[in-house]
Amino acid sequence: MRRGFKNPYGPNLAFWAVFLAITVLLLSGALWVLSFVRGTVVSAAEDEITLNQAYINYSTSGDYVATSSLTAVQAYIAEFPEPQNVQVLTGMTTSEIWSFMTTYVAGGMKVDCTYCHNVANFAADGAEIGDDVVAARKDNARQHLQMVADLNQNWLTQLADIEGKQPSGAQIICATCHLAEPLPVAWPENLHALPDEYRLPLDDLDVLLVTGNLDVSLDAVQYNQHTMYHMSESLGVGCTHCHNSRYFPDWEQPAKYYALTMLQMSQYIRENYQDSMNGQEPSCFLCHRNQVRPPGAVQAEVFLPDVLTSSYAP
């Protein structure tokens, strides 16, 4: 190359090489973002489709019922079209009971029939089942169904008497507490940053009224605040969901009466169904899971057998 000669292509080639590299990088990144967003949207849409419309925000999809159980129950229905040894779900055919069990019992806990039954004889009890653990689960399931009927008929019905707000019509069922867990935990460790030993004041609900009484200890005030925080976080709401922020002791908000009724119901559960609670005490979180309408509750009475609904009158 002659001295003083300049290559006219050198700077241009370098510029275009850098430009093309940056363009490819930006396009690749943009395509990845679009692919990620599309995948997320499709995934969310699929989750939406799999929700069971009988429930509030809950899906019964899954292969939790074994093929062998499906075969066994179809044979049982053919042999016994009318139910044998039914103690709670009265007035239903064997086929109707099976449909209910699949959707609301097995579906609510995501377990196979063999969790509570001997599939060689679905009506068997106790020693007939041949497994003490399974037999105990079947007894416990009956107690839970009796509790469901009791709470729907004697507690949820009280909400309709509260002026200013009508209940949604949602009904309690297995998934309301279990939410796909055979043994749900009412008080997981470090729940909502509360002390591990904290529990709802079900021995004395008057502790919740300390805001109207200044002659109380700081311990009582702190206990009250723990309770309010637990309720707020469990339902995913702020203080004004239940309170007049200008005067907290006021009872002008209908939701405050709802909350008190639900606390009284929790007290009732502890007093009457503690043996069915796996050694736990009720919590707001157990049913609400950060939502006002509990996920896993049934949308309306029409989806449940009459004997389990609020309006049932024997």
> Which pLDDT does position 208 carry in this prediction?
72
What CATH number does residue 260 fall under? 1.10.468.10
223 touches 208 (CB < 8 A): no
Q: Is residue 213 part of a domain?
A: yes
Give, in order, the Cα–Cα distances in Å from 126 to each of 76, 115, 295.
19, 14, 33
Decide if 175 contacts 58 (C-beta within 8 A): yes
Residue 58 · residue 51 · CB < 8 Å? yes
What angle is formed at CA 163 by the lines to CA 302 and CA 155, rounded to 5 degrees?
A: 50
Contact of 241 with 234, CB cutoff 8 Å:
no
Query: What does the buried/exposed string (b/e) look like for 96-115 if buried means 16 or more CB atoms within 10 Å of the residue's CB?
Result: ebbebbbbbbbbbbbbbbbb
Q: Is 216 among the domain residues?
A: yes
How much is the pLDDT for 211?
A: 56
Tell me if 49 is assigned to some domain: no
In a domain, 309, yes or no: no
pTM of the model: 0.82
Per the domain annotation, does 72 fall within a domain? no
Token pair in block for residue 66: 């074994």
Q: Is residue 66 part of a domain?
A: no
Residue 80 lies in a domain: no
Q: Note down pLDDT in tens along the chain; length 314 residues.
A: 455 545 555 566 666 666 677 777 777 766 766 666 666 544 544 445 489 999 999 999 999 999 999 999 999 999 999 999 999 999 999 999 999 999 999 999 999 999 999 999 999 999 999 999 999 999 999 999 999 999 999 999 999 999 998 889 999 999 999 999 999 999 988 777 899 899 999 998 887 766 556 667 888 888 888 999 999 999 999 999 999 989 888 889 999 999 999 999 999 999 999 888 888 999 999 999 999 999 999 999 999 999 999 999 87
pLDDT of residue 88: 97
Structural domain boundaries enclosing 233 = 180-294
- What kind and span of H or E run contains 107? helix 107-109
**pLDDT for 35:** 67
- The total number of structural domains in the chain stands at 1
Residue 146 lies inside a defined structural domain of this protein: no
Give the CA count within 13 Å in the CB-facing half-sphere of 76.
23
